[in-house]
Amino acid sequence: MPTMPLLADPAHYRPCIQDLLRDGEDILEYWLTLFERHIETLATLPVESGRLDGLPAWGDFRQDYLAGLAQLRRKPDARGELSVLELTRYRDERLAAFEFGDPFHDLKQTENEVALRQYSDVVATLDAMAPEPRKKTLATGLFAGNMFDMGSKAAVDAFREDGGVFATALARVRPRPWPVDDFDTWAEQAGRYRQCLFFVDNAGPDIVLGVLPFVRELAMQGTRVVLAANSKPALNDITAAELMVLLQRMAQLDATLSGLLSQSVEQQHEGSICVVESGCTSPLIDLRALSQECCEAAMESDLLVLEGMGRAIESNYDARFTTDTLKIALIKDPMVARIMKVQLFDPIFRFEIGTAGPGRASKD
**What are the sequence ranges of the domains in the chain?**
19-97, 105-352
How many CB atoms lie under 10 A from the CB of residue 137?
17
The pLDDT tens digits of the residues spanning 197-241 come to: 999 999 999 999 999 999 999 999 999 999 999 999 999 999 999
**Protein fold of 19-97:** AF1104-like (1.20.1700)
Per-residue pLDDT of the chain (364 residues; tens, 9 = 90+): 899 999 999 999 999 999 999 999 999 999 999 999 999 989 999 988 799 999 999 999 999 999 999 999 999 999 999 999 999 999 999 999 999 989 999 989 999 999 999 999 999 999 999 999 999 999 999 999 998 876 556 656 666 666 678 999 999 999 999 999 999 999 999 999 999 999 999 999 999 999 999 999 999 999 999 999 999 999 999 999 999 999 999 999 999 999 999 654 555 566 899 999 999 999 999 999 999 999 999 999 999 999 999 999 999 999 999 999 999 999 999 999 999 999 999 999 999 999 986 555 445 4
Contact 47, 106 (CB under 8 A): yes
Architecture per CATH, 105-352: 3-Layer(aba) Sandwich (3.40)
Count the alpha carbons within 13 Å of 232 in the hemisphere toward its beta carbon: 15
